[in-house]
Structure 1
């Protein structure tokens, strides 16, 4: 609930009564005093040590606000090669070269000397490590139902129309799943573009919000997100994989080897544990660096959504995503009653209308709750604020109610399957 506090709950900066939402530490809704305060109870631990978590949160607050200030009030162009992207691509290239060199050196050790020799097991270990760290280009997830143009012609036509309006390429594959989410990515060695729409979210959105969702997701194919590049997408997981491989096994049940074996095991665990921690620290630094560029790309995807669907629809989409639990509740309740997407949309619209007074505070609170060095998206409140401050846009693609009905009709079988799964969810 929203609580307004007076007296000791008065803002020391402007004298306005502070507010609180969901038990969070109070802040000033007018000047946003204490909105960037660290809420230990309301945040999931990132490192598990409060001083470090507090310090990284402050770093994240500073970089997030600096990025927003740099981007506010101006139209974004395609994301270029900023410092974060240059560092990420450079490190990714070095990692790829390192894995290749590891494989080549391992093969050389296996065949360079007459067999048997001690170089063979070392060479085989190096080749095995290179194989474990090899680039992986992903594949279509097994829970995604691929929709052909013959099965869903209306959806394919709409996606092509939105792609043309945003200047994005048309996806090679369009699919649906049962999540309250949507995403666009590239998979396989040929980097086939995949657009996946979570049906609970898609069905709960009105027509223009659906256009905004498509505009945002298709925008990821042109917004320069460094995480989606063929080189960096795999390299961002390499150091983390290596850290897992070197993480020591602390199972000490076999203690029958004597003191020398025990000491050797302890030294081995110490060395592998240190190497694992160093590799994991490098992984965190690389990911945090890449995500600076990624968050800028999210702002551009939001702008593309507003250009194609209109500012009203793009901001309405952000408000729906601000509270996905509400969407889940609406969809689950309707599905249990045997109702389809038309009821999902009506329930979501009613929930938004009922939260009109709460929404401004929820947007502000997201600035505190969603700020992190490892967040893939900027806080929803800042994304909403930037769209509304950037000038009002009318929709370039309008989706009529009749067309929404045709879209839903061709997905009826998939809606029924997802509805059954959602209705049994806890």
Structure 2
């Protein structure tokens, strides 16, 4: 439930009455005084220390709003920030080269000397480390229900239209799952393009919002997102994997004093190495994610190009109502209703909460600011679109065609309904 509360005083900056939504610390909706305040009750802890979380939040809020100001009204570009992209690519190359050197050295130590010899042990260890630290390029989610063109021809035709409209390649794999989410990515060394549509989300959206969703997700194939590039993706995972590998694990007690001292020293060494690697991972990811957020703004712009500014902004407003969407979909599904009823019930809920939407958009800037967020705050994404030239849709999904697409997915919707019913 969304509650709106009027603050106890006037804004010291402009004199307007402060407001609050969802028990958040009040702020001024006119000049956004106090919007940058750290709200520990509403935020998940990222590091566990309050002073660190406050400090990183302030850094994130400043970086997020500064990036928005720099990008507003300017071409977003598909190539992104040269400095961030270059640093991410160089880091990936160094990490991959380091793992290759580790593997080659390990193999050389294992085979270069006559057996048996003492070099075999470190050689085997180095090869094992290289295998454990190798870059991973993802694989298909086992929960993804892959669709075929014969199974859903109208859905695939719509995907083709949207991809053509924004100049993006069509995905190699299209599937659905049971999450209120959607994603596009690339898996494997061949970078097979995957598009996943969460059924609760897809079924709840209007025609314009569905086109906007496809435009945004397919836009990730051409927006230069570093998380999806073969050359830049290792920087997001390899140092983190190394930190996990060296993280000390407490073993069972026992043994003499020498063994206990050796175990303590070994764990202390592992802890230091693990923390150093983890800090390096955080620094590298936080830098790379600045460019990732720029790519999200561009994906939104591509979404507006195909669905129109109205469809793209409506989609972002729907994202702000994800909790309400989850409740409505679960309620209507248990009552035996399908996506047509999901949409009408959500339209009623959104109409009832229309006056709170501007506050939710502002609050998202506070709630979603993080050094490790791949997406900019939803409110800023919407503001970026409204500050740009208003666009008309180039692809229109009619009600009749939308019903046809839903009819193609009737088996998947029924499977989702059974899952919801069984989880009651």
TM-score range, shorter-chain basis? over 0.9
Q: What residue number does 2:399 align with?
A: 401
**Does structure 1 residue 327 correspond to structure 2 residue 325?**
yes
**Does structure 1 residue 337 correspond to structure 2 residue 335?**
yes
C-alpha separation between the residues in 1 aligned to 2:191 and 2:7?
54
**Does structure 1 residue 221 correspond to structure 2 residue 200?**
no
Equivalent residues in 2 for 1:151-170, closer than 5 Å: 151-170=151-170
Q: Deviations over 1:283-315 (max 9, x none)?
A: 111111111000000000000000100111111
Q: What residue number does 1:383 align with?
A: 381
Q: How far apart are residue 81 of structure 1 and its match?
A: 4.7
Q: How far apart are residue 425 of structure 1 and its match?
A: 4.0
Q: What residue number does 2:115 align with?
A: 115
C-alpha separation between the residues in 2 aligned to 1:112 and 1:43?
55
Q: What residue number does 1:198 align with?
A: 198
Aligned residues: 422
Structure 2 residue matching 1:230: 3-state secondary structure: coil
Q: How far apart are residue 62 of structure 1 and its match?
A: 1.0
Q: What residue number does 2:253 align with?
A: 254
Q: What residue number does 1:292 align with?
A: 290
Structure 2 gap ranges (5+): none
Q: What residue number does 2:104 align with?
A: 104
Structure 2 residue matching 1:169: 3-state secondary structure: coil
Structure 1 gap ranges (5+): none
Q: Deviations over 1:400-426 (max 9, x none)?
A: 111001100110000111122234446
C-alpha separation between the residues in 2 aligned to 1:129 and 1:348?
51
C-alpha separation between the residues in 2 aligned to 1:218 and 1:60?
27
C-alpha separation between the residues in 2 aligned to 1:396 and 1:275?
53
Structure 2 residue matching 1:149: 3-state secondary structure: coil
Q: 1:385 to 1:80 in 2, by over 3 A?
A: closer
Q: What residue number does 1:306 align with?
A: 304
Q: How far apart are residue 260 of structure 1 and its match?
A: 1.0
Q: What residue number does 1:11 align with?
A: 11
Q: 1:323 to 1:424 in 2, by over 3 A?
A: farther
Equivalent residues of 1:174, 1:195 under 8 A apart: yes
Q: What residue number does 1:349 align with?
A: 347
TM-score by length of 1: 0.97
C-alpha separation between the residues in 2 aligned to 1:213 and 1:91?
32
TM-score by length of 2: 0.98
C-alpha separation between the residues in 2 aligned to 1:391 and 1:23?
35
Equivalent residues of 1:225, 1:293 under 8 A apart: yes
C-alpha separation between the residues in 1 aligned to 2:377 and 2:153?
35
Q: How far apart are residue 77 of structure 1 and its match?
A: 2.5
Equivalent residues in 2 for 1:82-97, closer than 5 Å: 82-97=82-97
Equivalent residues of 2:136, 2:237 under 8 A apart: no
C-alpha separation between the residues in 2 aligned to 1:233 and 1:332?
36
Q: What residue number does 2:31 align with?
A: 31
C-alpha separation between the residues in 2 aligned to 1:70 and 1:235?
25
The range that moved more, 218-227 or 134-143, is 134-143
C-alpha separation between the residues in 2 aligned to 1:160 and 1:348?
28
Structure 2 residue matching 1:358: 3-state secondary structure: helix
C-alpha separation between the residues in 2 aligned to 1:32 and 1:162?
37
